[in-house]
Structure formats: C-alpha cells, structure tokens
Amino acid sequence: MSEIVNPKAALHQKALDLPQVPGVYIIKNKTGKVVYIGKSKSLKARVSQYFASGKSHDTKTKRMVASAADFEFITTNTELEALIVESKLIRIHQPRYNILLKHGKNFPYIKVSYDTEFPTLSITRKRISDNARYYGPYSNFRNVYEVLGTVRKIFKIHHCKHVFPRDIGKVRPCLYAHIEQCVAPCKGKISAAEYQEIYNKLGSFLRGNNKEVQNKMTQKMNHAAEGMMYELAAQWRDRLNALMILWNKQKVAVAEDIECDVVALHQSEAFSCLSISSIRSGALIDIKNTIITSDMIINSGTLLSLICEIYSTQEHIPRDILFDFALEADTVDMIEEYLSSLSPRAARRKFSFPKSGEKKALCDLTLNNAREHALHYQKERERENKTLVRLAALLNLEVLPSRIEAVDISNLGNEFIYAGLVSYVDTKPNKLGYRTYKIRTTDTQDDYASMREVVTRRVAPTATNVNPLPDLLLLDGGRAHVRVIKALLDELGVDLPVFGMVKDEHHKTRTLTDGDGDIDLTGENAVFTMIYKIQEEVHRYSAASMSRAKINSMKTSTLESVPGIGAKKANVLLEHFEKIDKVKRATVEQLVQVKGITEKDALAIVEFYKKGKKS
C-alpha cells in the first residue's frame, strides 16, 4: 500500500530546498492559475512559513494556502530587484489574493507636448518616453477636466487642432479668440517664446505651485493697472479669480507651504481601502483610492508592493510622505530605496508618522476618506449583487453571473465583417476582457455563421487559458441566434448558459430569450437597466471595431501609394505615430526611428506628402 503524501507537507519540503537569497515566489492552484505572488529577501524563509505545519495564519492567508498546489520562484540579486519583478508579474497575472491596482496606464494624465514651437495641451492615458511633460496621474477624468477648464481660463491657451506656427495666418480666429478666452496664436501676435513662457507658468501651476502663479498674476495685474491698461488688468483679475475659485475648493486647513503625500489605510472585514492624498501648497489637489477586497492579503509586504506600484506611475513625488499607520523599519527603507530608483537625483525623502498637530489632521482627513470610499464601494457592491441574484433567478441559472460577456456582429457590406465581445465583471465593464474578431470563415453577411465563428474562437482552449469562460453569454439577437449557438456548444461539449437580447421596434431591449421562450424584463428595473447598458455597449464596440478597420484600410492604402511602402510598413508607421496626420508632419529623422523604415523610405514619405497629396 503506497504512502499517502500530504500535499502541504510536500510543498513545505520543496520550500526548504529553496536558496536563502532575494527573489519572487509564484503560488499556483491545482489548475495552474497563479493565485498569489510575493517577494522576499530570503525565499527559503518566507515560502516555507506558508506550508509549515501548525503555523498560524490570518483567514485570508489560510484560504490562499489551502488553494495552493505548487509554486515557482525567480531569484534576484537584491530585494529591490525582487520588488520590481513582483510588481510586473502582478500586473500580468492579476492574482486573486494580491492587492490589485488599476495600473497607471489607465489613469489620466495631462500632457504638454513640445513637438512644435507652440506647445499643446491634451489628456492621455498612455505615458511614453518622448519630449512631452506629463502631469498626474489623476484619479479620474472628472478631476482632469476641472483642472483643464481652469487652466484654459487662467492661461488662455489654444485648444483647437491647428498646428502653429504652420497655420498662423491661414485660419480664421475662433469664438474663443473673439471673447478673449484664447491668446490666439493663429493671429501671429504672440511669439513662440512668449507662448512657451505661458506654458512654463502653466507647468508650475500643474505641479501644485499655486502660490507662485498667484503672485506672478497679481504682479501683472497691478503693473497693468498702474500703467492705466485697465482692460489688460481686468483680464488678469479674471484669471486670478478663476485660480482662487479652484484654490478655495481644494484648500485644506494647513499652512500654505506644506507639500506632502498622506497615506492612510482603512481596514474592515468586507472592504478595505488605501488612500493617498496629494497636498501641494496647502491644497488637496488629488486623492487616489485603492479598494482591497476580503480575499486580498494585507501585510507589510503587500502594502509595500502596492505603495511602490502607485508611485511608479507618478510624475512628481514630494519629499515628505506621511503615514497614518505604522510600518516596519525594513519596509520604510525599501520604499525609500525604490522611490530613489525612480528619481535618483531627488533629495532623500522624509517619512513620518504624526501623532498630533496639523499633519495628524491631514492623516485623519485621508483616513476618513478611505473609510467613506470603502463604505460607498460596499453599498455599490450590495446593490450590484442584488441585481445579479435577481437575474440568476429570472434565468434559472445555477451560479451567480458575476462574469457576463456579450457578442454582436457589425458589417459594412461583405468586405468589413467584424464582431465585438464585451466583458462585464460584477456589472461593471471589464476592458481587459474586450475582444475584436475579424470574421474569417464567411465573406457574406451571414450573422449566424459569423456568430458561430466568434463563439468557437472564444471557447477554444487557447482563449480560455488566458481568459476563463463567463458565467453567462449574451447574444445581440433573437431565438434563432440562441438556437444556433446552443447547438454549437453542444457539439463542442461546452457547458455555458446562452441567452439572446431581443429588441423592440424602438431598438430597446425588450426581453431575453433562451431560444424557445422569452423572459419579460417589464418591472425588473435594475435587471433591465443592466442588460440595456450591456446591449448598447456591445453594439457600440462592434460598430467601432468595424469602423476602425475601414478607416485604417483607407489610411494604409494612402501610405501604400508612397514608393517602397507596402501594407506591412504602412501598418508599422500607423502603429508608431497613431495618426496619419502625424506621419505627414514627421521629419526624416523621426521616420527612420520607426523599425523597418530606411532613410530612403523616409525621404520618399516626406517628398510624397510635400507634393500635397491627400489621404
């Protein structure tokens, strides 16, 4: 009779064989899915603790250990290297028990571009290495638009799509120029140097130096008034008023010279929240909240990883950082080392844990925000859960449909046939799960054949290994669509609930169908609203995918008219520059930086567009 091996004992023995060096460990469940990623300055010491018999763990760690079936590890030279590797792996695998951050590329930045003599201002989610300056990231678009609106009122910069100095004198001044809310570089009355000086002040303002900008604006207003230039003085007064309105909305009860970040953690059984308040010149300019669910493990290591991950996306890190909770000395040293690696020339940062005074008041303010944000999130989730429970009851589902996907087909003739698939997790759009499919198996407008192809590709092992199947699949179609897909899933041996979203004569969601009968949504307001939003979103996304393919086809065909540029090089150019207009304006030096584009290609492109050919 063979000896029964305790799986945890086997993992403990494997952990005891690990080296006592810094590194990252990757814990997987029995299906091979990564459930937790951590780092340690001693792999052997840390990993063996998880699987040692009789070792006491908190509830969350016990659940993680119970699900563990195996682990892998990566050794590094230093603990800092381990922290960086851990951060990258968490972003890739999104483990269930790690605290997950909505990564910084999704946060909005204010971008100041210096591609021409006259800088431009825009909002972007993507921060790249170029000659632009990025301010942020901001926690949401509402904050960005409020700041942007104020900036435009104060500094009166242009926000049209014209390029200066190229378009000076070639376009008519817009309404903003007429009502004196733009300095109107299109008129040619402001030099590039003067315009760049405006942007220097603007940059100072966006970095939180409100007081400096206020003083300079006051000086200009007084100087204009003393010189009896009353109209100009009034303009500076109006700009100053706009600044003060924003300043008073942001101001907190601390000294105006305080510049710091405040980190607070609210913990509860249901949902915890880490908040970071950004205080600049005594003003609260932004606050970032990260929700920590009941499954996610909270300890010094996970908090270290989360804090460093947040700061890795931040343009400016203040010298002073206040904490509302205690941290071990080793953790503080690691944060300092990590932040120094982000900005090596910066002065050493000061970490403090205030117990009284105005800095303690800032900690209390941030902690209260974290508490309120967690409570608000909990109430939202409870509402969402009720909606999903009701949907499950209406459709007789065996499990709560936390993960819902929907498919729609969109076409423009027989040439451009595309499908869009949208993903929802806990009633919220999950953009990482969105997919676009170019239909390959049919070249006619056959919705049923197109839908079969999409679902076949979605349930294939290559797709499900990356993105597990949903709890519910919705089709933008009626009974016939559902019958076709149910038959397909039966052929493939896949158990997946499928329902169709049926529209009425006003193109509104009327019922759901299982292929035989209809489920009326009348009177089910919460369920109806959710299904309606999903149907509108999948229709928007599939139509956008088809339109984008059409537009890209038109763009690449223009580039393919350039001697020596084929479809492959045209696609590479568009991927690099993002817009055809940027390709047209690019210099030879900029073009040759694109992989696969030679100097001969670059000269041909510049010469082609110089002749005035249009896309």
Contact criterion met (CB below 8 Å) for 50 and 14: no
Compute the distance between CA of residue 552 and CA of residue 538 in angstroms, rounded to an integer.
21
**DSSP codes of every residue in 172-188:** ---HHHHTTSS--GGGT
CA 292 to chain centre: 17
Question: Which residue bears the tokens 């063979």?
Answer: 2
Q: Which residue has the tokens 């100095």?
A: 165
Q: Give which of 10, 22, 17 is closest to 334, Cα–Cα.
A: 22
User: Which residue blocks in 355-501 are alpha helix, DSSP H?
Assistant: 357-395, 447-459, 461-464, 479-492
User: Rounded to an integer, what distance in angstroms lies between the CA atom of residue 400 and that of residue 391?
Assistant: 8
Q: What pLDDT does residue 612 have?
A: 61
C-alpha–C-alpha distance, residues 602 and 606, integer Å: 6
Q: What is the DSSP letter of 47?
A: H
Which residue ranges form the domains of the chain, and what is each CATH number? Answer: 7-98 (3.40.1440.10), 109-250 (no CATH), 260-376 (3.30.420.10), 403-536 (3.30.420.340), 560-610 (1.10.150.20)
**What is the mean pLDDT, run by run of 10 residues, along the chain of 615 residues?**
63 93 94 92 94 85 92 92 89 87 66 88 80 78 78 84 87 85 89 91 78 78 87 80 65 70 93 91 81 90 90 82 93 90 78 92 92 91 94 94 94 74 94 89 83 95 87 94 96 95 75 92 90 93 75 63 84 78 86 90 88 55
- Residue 226: count of CB within 10 angstroms of its CB: 9
Per-residue confidence (pLDDT) for residue 414, from 0 to 100: 58
Q: Tell me phi and psi for residue 613, to 5 degrees.
A: -70, 140
Q: How many Cβ atoms sit within 10 Å of the Cβ of residue 189?
A: 10
| Assigned token pair, 548 | 């984008």
With CA atoms as reference, report the closest residue to 584 among 564, 614, 557, 545.
Answer: 614
pLDDT at 3 (0 to 100): 47
Closest CA to 208 of 155, 133, 260: 260
Find residue 334's DSSP bridge partners: none
Greatest pairwise CA separation for the chain in angstroms: 104
d(CA 278, CA 470): 39
Q: What is the predicted pLDDT for the residue at 545?
A: 75
Q: Is the pTM of this model over 0.85?
A: no
